[in-house]
Amino acid sequence: MNGEHDHLPIKIIVTTEADLCPPRAGGGKPKDFSSRYDGIRQSLLHEIDALERFYDRPFAQTDLPAVARIRLSPDTIAKSHRPDGLLHNTCPVIGAENFDELLISVRREGLARLKNTIAATNNPRLKSDIGKITALEPYKPADVLGEWTLQQFTHALRERRTHDVKFRLFTHRDRELDGRLFHTLEEIARRHHLPKLVPLDYGAGLRLYRVQLPAYDALNELVHYVGTQSLAMFQYFTVSTQSTRLSDLAPDQLPPPDPNREYPIVGIIDTGTDPDNDQLQAWIVERDEEDVPRADQNNDHGSLVAGLIINGRALNHDAPGFPPERAKVLDVVVFPSTGVREDILIESMRRVFAKYPDVKIWNLSINTPDTTVINERFSTFAVALDTVQDQFGVTIVNSAGNFQDRPAHRWPRPPLGQRDRILAPADSLRAITVGSQAHLAPHGACAQPGEPSPFTRKGPGAAFVPKPEVTHFGGNTNANLQCTQMGVRSTDTTRGVAETAGTSFAAPLVAATAAHVAHTMAQPPSRNLLKALMVHSAVLHSPEISAAELPYTGFGKPPEPADILRYRPWEATLIFELELPYLRRTFHKIDFPIPPCLHKDGKVCGEVTLTLVYDPPADCNDGAAYSQVNIGCSLGTCSRNAGVEEYEGREVIPYPKDYKELFEKSQIEHGFKWSPVKVFRRRMKRVQPSDTW
């Protein structure tokens, strides 16, 4: 059953107004934590006294607000449990860090009101709010610099011979207070004869500036300034690769495009392709080198990435699993051989996305060299990537990053803590993040075909969002990270075929696949639909995964583009694409069709896979709670009782089925659930039938 006539198309289900309804009332009374009030009251009062002493000097010298941190009890970290009633008129919440940490705006009079309330309130709701808190502490200079001391930070700046720092100013969500903080920052800059502060457009509400320090004597004052949220060094992205030339490039490995055929286009933001390779350049629709003069270019990495997009299968001996279709390339050169600073890279991306609005799929195989993703917050560069994707309606496909410790481990990899976690900006919420798997396994290889490559980094992303979402072929290595006879093959800068390995080369195969899927569809798909098709097909065409495998494999490897858009005779795929207005934010489809062929011996049998993808609004000041909306999804049975519809429970469960074992219970409930990509799956053998699903 391999002919085209044996395959079935996807069915798009038209949604109607009747499918939308307000959320049902429910949930009961708010949970009461007032029983903890007496136990925490005195320690909180002592901590407020300590806060007043800590901020005594800035309060005495200025009328500026400071910032303190509230730590919450683990069972109160849901957004619905935040102690807003207590804090709204005393020390309002202005942001968050980890799920159990809130940042509050602190002023002398607000602290006094908070102290009086905690000391003597008889209001049960306020007592409950107080019972949610475990500690109050100042935001200290050590918080500003993160893992650095001031001496270490200054030394690192000198070593890197840079005078530019990335300065983040607190926002108190109050125009007047925020204006005062910026005015005082300008006064500090004038006092130290610093050049003009340069604002960085990384995302709405993110008050970032490039501050140039001709000397480093201003650092101490900036670190101790109550308006400083963080000081960090800029990341410099350098893109390089190691490859081995194997042979000359044969004509049939990169034949010219058919002039009578229209090809999809993938944008590449990279080092540029080899301008002297005529076979390669025949597939380049335009070469944009406005940002990097040719004399500053090293085209190795960009050529390898482009070759895989153009004709990855033919370059790899027609190996099954590589995309069989070809694509053209928009070649944007943004990485000079010396590297590019992150803020300059973001502005280059804005320029090219505006210049080429018809190109919607972009490959960006870059990762920071030393910034692993953390649970507490999304990286500022990931926030910037999310911002430009929203602004220009594009999808960025990016690599998970390479783990290069030796000796490399065989699969399954032993637990390595955070050492092999994905590298920023692989935590971008909007991007498709790609890990690597092996397709060849000669003697000495660390992985077998289909297993995660020994160098691919693991998820999750920030806030326990599952990353990578998918994997593709990026090569294999031995224990010494050598990829001879087991890497991926592409074209290099010597007009030859070269072998290499890395997640950088898995990403373009996913980008090419996504571009072909979008190109084949009669109507250009939305970003959400395209990502959903990639993830959904990866689940259906990959071996079943466990929770332990998910951080390495994502939801699997997408198949060939043709198999993403058509299904086998025993499968049926339905697409529901809709908007959920706030007041009618429940989509409810009844009666959902369960075909008669799945009813056997009075039971329901079969397999159901449900993939949910959405773009939540995001708040970069909310730390781990950056994703502001959680959408749930369920497929199950219902009945009517006295004319009232009653849902009898979910029959299709989250996938992988043991995913709750990944993290602690609280982290699952308040982290993983906020993921904008969710998969539900169940193989039903003997489910009780129902007339209504």
Q: Secondary structure of 180-237 in the HEC alphabet? A: HHHHHHHHHHHHCCCCCCEEECCCCCCCEEEEECCCCCCHHHHHHCCCEEEEEECCEE
In terms of DSSP bridges, do strands 328-333 and 340-341 run parallel, antiparallel, or are they unpaired?
unpaired
Q: Mean pLDDT for the chain?
A: 93
Residues 183-238 have pLDDT tens digits of 999 999 999 999 999 999 999 999 999 999 999 999 999 999 999 999 999 999 99
pLDDT at 2: 47
In terms of DSSP bridges, do strands 284-288 and 328-333 run parallel, antiparallel, or are they unpaired?
parallel
**Looking at the DSSP assignment, which residues form a beta bridge with residue 70?**
102, 136
d(CA 465, CA 456): 17
- The least confident of 125-134, 278-287, 570-579 is 570-579
Contact call for residues 195 and 212 (beta carbons, < 8 A): yes
The CA-based angle 209-214-217, given to 5 degrees, is: 90
Q: DSSP string covering 57-87, please?
A: HHHHH----EEEEEEE-GGG-SGGG--HHHH
d(CA 575, CA 305): 32
d(CA 270, CA 306): 9
pLDDT surpassing 50 at residue 254: yes
pLDDT at 89: 93
Q: DSSP string covering 7-32, please?
A: -EEPEEEPP-GGGEEPPPP---SPPP
pLDDT at 665: 54
d(CA 149, CA 220): 11
pLDDT surpassing 60 at residue 31: yes
pTM of the model: 0.95
pLDDT at 79: 83
Q: Which amino acid is at 192?
A: H
Residues 98-109 have pLDDT tens digits of 889 999 999 999
CB-CB neighbours of 588 under 10 Å:
12
Question: What pLDDT band is residue 596 in, cutting at 50, 70 and 90?
Answer: confident
Q: Please tell me whether residue 132 adopts helix, strand or coil conformation.
A: coil
**Cα dihedral angle (329, 334, 336, 338), rounded to 10 degrees?**
-130
Q: Which amino acid is at 54?
A: F
For residues 639-658, average pLDDT: 81
pLDDT greater at residue 179 or residue 593: 179
Residue 288 tokens read as 């944009």
d(CA 448, CA 403): 18
Residues 287-319 have pLDDT tens digits of 999 999 999 999 999 999 999 999 999 999 999
Ranges of H-type helices in 356-454? 380-392
For residues 574-596, average pLDDT: 88
Nearest of 135, 28, 117 to residue 76 by alpha carbon: 135
Residue 91 tokens read as 């020390």
pLDDT surpassing 90 at residue 40: yes
CB-CB neighbours of 245 under 10 Å:
13
Taking the chain, what is the end-to-end CA distance rounded to the nearest angstrom? Answer: 31
d(CA 126, CA 32): 10
pLDDT at 674: 87
- The least confident of 145-154, 263-272, 368-377, 477-486 is 368-377
pLDDT surpassing 70 at residue 670: no
For residues 492-510, average pLDDT: 97
**Cα→Cα distances 245→238, 315, 318, 487, 673, Å:** 22, 13, 19, 12, 46
**Looking at the DSSP assignment, which residues form a beta bridge with residue 169?**
228
Mention every residue, 6+ apart, whose C-beta is less than 8 A from residue 102: 69, 70, 72, 82, 87, 93, 95, 96
Residue 488 tokens read as 């991926």
pLDDT greater at residue 657 or residue 438: 438
Q: Which amino acid is at 283?
A: W
CA 434 to chain centre: 11
Contact call for residues 304 and 490 (beta carbons, < 8 A): yes
Q: Which amino acid is at 479?
A: A
**Cα→Cα distances 230→142, 143, 180, 187, 208, Å:** 10, 7, 18, 18, 9
d(CA 79, CA 139): 22
Question: What pLDDT band is residue 389 in, cutting at 50, 70 and 90?
Answer: very high
Mention every residue, 6+ apart, whose C-beta is less than 8 A from residue 495: 248, 249, 274, 276, 277, 279
d(CA 474, CA 509): 9
d(CA 315, CA 296): 28
Question: What pLDDT band is residue 27 in, cutting at 50, 70 and 90?
Answer: low
For residues 649-668, average pLDDT: 73
Residues 113-132 have pLDDT tens digits of 999 999 999 999 999 999 99
CB-CB neighbours of 338 under 10 Å:
10
pLDDT surpassing 60 at residue 1: no
Q: Please tell me whether residue 93 adopts helix, strand or coil conformation.
A: strand
In terms of DSSP bridges, do strands 586-587 and 20-21 run parallel, antiparallel, or are they unpaired?
antiparallel
Phi, psi of 487 (to 5 degrees): -90, -175
**Looking at the DSSP assignment, which residues form a beta bridge with residue 640?**
645
Nearest of 89, 135, 97, 156 to residue 116 by alpha carbon: 89
pLDDT surpassing 60 at residue 669: no
**Cα→Cα distances 608→588, 611, 652, 655, 683, Å:** 18, 10, 7, 11, 7
